[in-house]
A and B are shown apart, each in its own frame.
Chain A
Amino acid sequence: MVMDAKPDSHRTTGGAPSARPPKSRINWSWLGVVPFFAFAIMFLILPSLSIFVRSFEGPEGQFTLDNIFAIFHGRDFINAYRTSLTISLITAVSGGIFGFLLAYSVILGGLPSVARSFLLTFSGVASNFAGVPLAFAFVATIGNAGLVTRIIENILNVDIHARGFTIYSIWGLSIVYMYFQFPLMVLIMAPALDGLRREWREACENLGGTELHYWRYVALPILMPTLLGTMILLFGNAFGAYATAYAFSGSFINLITIVIGAQIQGDVLYNPGLGNALALGMIVIMSLSMVGYLTLQRRAARWLR
């Protein structure tokens, strides 16, 4: 009670030196972040918003849903979304699982510690090695005259390309995308696996649990938010990828990013509203996956709050 008597004299002597006039109660410190927010609004938020608004605009600027319907009418667009989604799902799940196992083996699998630093270095490089040069690398590997193609042909006498495999297919592109997908998983899972404390495993054993019990009841539930989050990240990573597919000289494979890129270059069908709607579709899918992630994570990690 005594302390309450003169609260103000305490407060003003704290952070702010004498310069501030006592009248001003407004907090001016937000001014310091104005440039950042101005930039973000101008080059990130407004462009996204304009896509949203213009998706519902006709040629004369009137409100319309035609653009949205147009997506569902053109079979190519739906197919492009489907192809993109399929590749993203395949590489997110398989890249996620393989990356997780890889991170597990170097961190908890009892491999020498050089293996670990080696893998982490490589993952850092490989997760950033994408786009055009990655496409070339895989042309040299599993393309028509690629090393693996030739080896298989020489040894097994099988021409995989004659049997229908092509690098421009969903599976071919998935193999290529895996090159940057699983290293990303490794990079994120490694610290998470490091965070599993030895005592948890020992406590579990001490209480009669086996290795399986430990993973089922302790380790996986603890890792689940990170696992899910990273898989969503991988999904978005593949979903937005453009350069790699484009470098296989473009239109062999009908990805949604390629379609939008073509729209930008303005050669296909000249309908700006449709382009906006296609881009909006991508934003919606990404947002949905984010929302899905957040709900899953909230459920998986009740114990965090």
Chain B
Amino acid sequence: MAFLEINNVSKTFGKTTAVKDFNLKVEKGELVSFLGPSGCGKTTTLRMVAGFEVPSSGEIIIDGKDVTYEPPNRRPVGMVFQSYALFPNMNVAANIGFGLKIAKRSREEINQRVNEMLELIHMPGYGNRYPHQLSGGQQQRVALARALAMHPEVLLLDEPLSALDAKIRVSLRGEIRSIQRELGITTVYVTHDQEEALSISDRVVVMNNAQIEQIGPPFEIYNFPQTEFVAQFVGTLNAVNAEVVDPKAKILKFEGQQLQTAFSLDKLHSGDKVMIAIRPERLSFASQEKKANILKGKVQNITFLGAVVRIQIGIDSLNFYMDTFNNPYLALPKIGEDVEITCSAEAVLALKERKESQG
């Protein structure tokens, strides 16, 4: 049985539906992240787990116990807020020890735990500082320590890094992940940064419009998105409407060019419309030896992105992006040049229509 279960949870505020039919089981020690655009219901779901909102329907179970209607101060849940929410009138040590003090633990125990926590977040010696004397990254680490000091069974983080700059974001998310692994604490992590979600999580829950679009490990979410939304939201994508030519042979066509996919088209018939998607890094220039799955186009633009060079190729009225690794000795085509590009059949994803996935 899963450690944290969110069963059929919905939440409405007046006329807006913030979360609808949410189902998720999180195993003990697992880190699951919620990924989705602004307003899709991530925070609301998290707040229901923490107890700040009561679900309109459904139930929330932690370690076998139904906590749906438990007040927040009786849940074994630690929360880290986007805005840190450190108490400005208390120093770092008092912030970290606050929960223990409320629980009337002895002073020695509190001190010891506070020091442990300061070690854990690599900030020993900062106990006497006040929050306004810390950098944003340090504040967020203290917030993490404060949430962990009470030995919560579930840790919730709501966009903990979004107020920080890019460099610290990357290093701190690594730190959060390693602390989480070290303590083996069941964690839900909310973010709208897809790179963050992919890099930190055991599993990712992609949400849109109050609903779950797809749940899966990062690798699966990225490589095998099941819906157009997921494919578009996670990573860059070339998505086009195509027509089935031959479902048995898995041949599709668009703009008069033919393409083969490795995915089953069994349920479709010749002439059906389907959306296909190809990641830019799966495309490459066609070479002499390999002449399958060719698309003909014209180079529109070349953008240098550092490790990667992104080439924009016009195929009739459509634009395709193709990524190649940067290599100073490789000759790139000129803008306006005619090129042939190719990809393996496995790279051509046929996506479900949005409506099917809701059914």
- Interface residues in chain A, defined as those with a beta carbon under 8 Å from any beta carbon in chain B: 197, 199-200, 202-210, 213, 217-218, 221-222, 301-304
Given contacts A203-B81, A221-B89, A303-B130, list 15 more A-B pairs with CB under 8 A: A200-B87, A202-B52, A202-B79, A203-B87, A207-B98, A207-B99, A207-B146, A207-B150, A208-B99, A208-B150, A209-B73, A209-B99, A209-B102, A222-B88, A302-B130
Given contacts A203-B79, A208-B103, A303-B132, contact A218 B87 (CB under 8 A): yes
Interface size class of B (residues with CB under 8 A): 20 to 34
Q: Are A208 and B85 in contact (CB under 8 A)?
A: no
B147 lies within 8 A of chain A by Cβ: yes
Task: Give bound CA distance, A207 to B146, whole Å.
Answer: 8
Q: Are A200 and B103 in contact (CB under 8 A)?
A: no
Task: Give bound CA distance, A204 to B101, whole Å.
Answer: 11
**Residues on A with beta carbons closer than 8 Å to the beta carbon of B71:** 205
**Residues on A with beta carbons closer than 8 Å to the beta carbon of B72:** 202, 205-206
Task: Give bound CA distance, A197 to B102, whole Å.
Answer: 20
Task: Give bound CA distance, A9 to B90, whole Å.
Answer: 46
B77 lies within 8 A of chain A by Cβ: yes
Choose from A205, A210, A303 the contact partner of B90 (Cβ within 8 Å). Answer: A303
Chain B residues 30-80 with CB under 8 Å of chain A are 50-52, 71-74, 77-79
Give chain A's interface secondary structure class. Answer: helix
Q: Chain B CB within 10 Å — which of A207, A213, A217 has the most?
A: A207
Task: Give bound CA distance, A207 to B105, whole Å.
Answer: 13
**Residues on A with beta carbons closer than 8 Å to the beta carbon of B85:** 197, 199-200, 202-203
Q: Which residue of A lies closest to B74 (CB)?
A: A208
Q: Are B50 and A199 in contact (CB under 8 A)?
A: no
Choose from B88, B91, B147 the contact partner of A206 (Cβ within 8 Å). Answer: B147
**Residues on A with beta carbons closer than 8 Å to the beta carbon of B79:** 202-203, 206
B83 lies within 8 A of chain A by Cβ: yes
Chain B residues 78-113 with CB under 8 Å of chain A are 78-79, 81, 83, 85-91, 98-99, 102-103
B45 CB to nearest A CB, Å: 15
**Residues on B with beta carbons closer than 8 Å to the beta carbon of A197:** 83, 85
**Residues on A with beta carbons closer than 8 Å to the beta carbon of B147:** 206-207
Choose from A204, A206, A218, A222 the contact partner of B78 (Cβ within 8 Å). Answer: A206
**Residues on B with beta carbons closer than 8 Å to the beta carbon of A203:** 79, 81, 85-87, 146
Given contacts A202-B79, A202-B81, A303-B132, contact A207 B102 (CB under 8 A): yes
Q: Are A217 and B98 in contact (CB under 8 A)?
A: yes
B52 CB to nearest A CB, Å: 6
Q: Chain A CB within 10 Å — which of B81, B86, B87, B89 has the most?
A: B89
Task: Give bound CA distance, A217 to B83, whole Å.
Answer: 20
Task: Give bound CA distance, A207 to B143, whole Å.
Answer: 11
**Residues on B with beta carbons closer than 8 Å to the beta carbon of A205:** 51-52, 71-73
**Residues on B with beta carbons closer than 8 Å to the beta carbon of A303:** 88-91, 130-132
**Residues on B with beta carbons closer than 8 Å to the beta carbon of A209:** 73, 98-99, 102
B91 CB to nearest A CB, Å: 8
**Residues on A with beta carbons closer than 8 Å to the beta carbon of B52:** 202, 205
**Residues on A with beta carbons closer than 8 Å to the beta carbon of B81:** 199, 202-203
Q: Are A208 and B87 in contact (CB under 8 A)?
A: no
Task: Give bound CA distance, A199 to B83, whole Å.
Answer: 8
Task: Give bound CA distance, A222 to B103, whole Å.
Answer: 22
**Residues on A with beta carbons closer than 8 Å to the beta carbon of B132:** 303-304
A102 CB to nearest B CB, Å: 24
A218 CB to nearest B CB, Å: 5
**Residues on A with beta carbons closer than 8 Å to the beta carbon of B50:** 202, 206
B97 CB to nearest A CB, Å: 10
Q: Are B88 and A210 in contact (CB under 8 A)?
A: no
Interface 0/1 of B238-263, CB less than 8 Å to A = 00000000000000000000000000
Complex A-B: 12 CB contacts under 8 Å: A199-B83, A200-B85, A202-B52, A203-B79, A203-B146, A205-B71, A206-B72, A206-B147, A207-B146, A208-B73, A218-B89, A222-B88
